[in-house]
Amino acid sequence: MFEFRRAVRGDDLRPLWNAAFEPDEVFFTRDYQPENAFICADNGKPVSMLHLQRKTITAGGESLSAGYLMGIATDPAYRRRGLAGKLIEEALRVCENLDCAFLIPASENLAVYYAKFGLTLRGRRPSTGHLSPCTGKAGCIETLSGLYERAYPDRAERTVYDWETILLEYDVRADGCRYTVGDGRGVLEAVPPPDTPADGCAACILPFTDRAGSLLTRYKPYINLLYT
């Protein structure tokens, strides 16, 4: 029997995560909070999940409160039953008192799926995979943050905690006024931004207020939350 609820301490969501994504122990030791996870359980076993985090997006110099839907995954044996869709709907209901909600699709096909819930492509994320990493080691967080904010005035904000997590999870290389962030997949972020077309899998965003809808349409913020 399916049960839709928030996760509790006894729920082990690692198997679902590891089957769908790269294993990420940093997330579960630093960021994971059961009360921020929506799950569908079958006789107590989590078979579908979604995590919700609070974020801030800057667009046109204004701050927008946002809910970030991430880590959406369903056990392959339980797919095509609408389980993840119900979790998305519940998470969006929780976000209705914010300016917007967003997620980052893993593929363009998934972006089409999320559009059914009103989450449409509005953000931008330059394609970076072909770049060579900058030489040298990571600079201090204050320097990296300053470069990031100047390169992307309209962006998803990053806290010091976020940068600490990025440095734990990724290979960050800096050289003067440049940096790159990458892993085995290649370069995932570069500053200054590369002169390349936008990635087709930029953020899907659902605005809940007219102000958010106007700002997000006009400024198309850069959203690339590497630490998740």
Same domain, 162 and 211: no
Pick 66 or 129 by higher pLDDT: 66
Q: Is the dihedral angle over the CA atoms 146, 152, 106, 210 positive or is it negative?
A: positive
The count of domains in the chain is 2
Residues 108-118, mean pLDDT to the nearest whole number: 92
Q: Are 223 and 203 in contact (CB under 8 A)?
A: yes
Task: Reply yes or no: is the peptide bond before residue 192 cis, omega within 30 of 0.
Answer: yes
Residue 14: inside a domain = yes
Q: What type of residue is 155?
A: R
Which domain, by its residues, includes 98? 2-124+199-219
Q: Are 164 and 141 in contact (CB under 8 A)?
A: yes
Tokens of residue 181, six digits: 């962030």
**Which of 35-39, 116-120, 182-186, 212-216 has the weakest average pLDDT?**
182-186
Residue 75: inside a domain = yes
| pLDDT value for 11 | 96
Most confident range (mean pLDDT) of 109-113, 129-133, 194-198, 206-210 is 206-210
- Tell me, what CATH number does 66's domain have? 3.40.630.30
Residue 135: inside a domain = no
Q: Are 196 and 189 in contact (CB under 8 A)?
A: no
Is it the case that residue 205 has pLDDT exceeding 80? yes
Pairing status of strand 62-74 against strand 100-103: parallel
Tell me the β-bridge partners of 46.
41
Same domain, 115 and 155: no
| pLDDT value for 133 | 92
Residue 10: inside a domain = yes
227 confidence band (pLDDT: 50, 70, 90): low
Residues of the chain above pLDDT 90, percent: 75
Residue 130: inside a domain = no
Q: Are 158 and 141 in contact (CB under 8 A)?
A: no
Write down how long the chain is: 228
Pick 25 or 180 by higher pLDDT: 180
Same domain, 112 and 180: no
Residue 30: inside a domain = yes
What is the distance of C-alpha 63 from the center of its chain?
18
Residues 208-216, mean pLDDT to the nearest whole number: 97
Same domain, 53 and 93: yes
The 10s digit of each residue's pLDDT in 82-104 is: 999 999 999 999 999 999 999 99
Pick 125 or 30 by higher pLDDT: 30
Q: In whole angstroms, how far apart are CA 154 and each of 41, 90, 178?
A: 38, 28, 19
List the alpha helices (DSSP H) in the chain.
14-20, 25-26, 83-94, 108-115, 141-151, 160-169, 210-219
106 confidence band (pLDDT: 50, 70, 90): confident
Same domain, 84 and 174: no
Is it the case that residue 199 has pLDDT exceeding 90? no
Is it the case that residue 5 has pLDDT exceeding 90? yes
Same domain, 13 and 96: yes
Residues 26-54, mean pLDDT to the nearest whole number: 95
Strand runs labelled E in the chain: 2-6, 37-42, 45-59, 62-74, 100-103, 120-121, 155-156, 171-175, 178-183, 186-191, 204-207
pTM, rounded to two decimals: 0.92
Residue 131: inside a domain = no
Tokens of residue 124, six digits: 């931008």
Average model confidence (pLDDT) across the chain: 92
The 10s digit of each residue's pLDDT in 44-88 is: 999 999 999 999 999 999 999 999 999 999 999 999 999 999 999
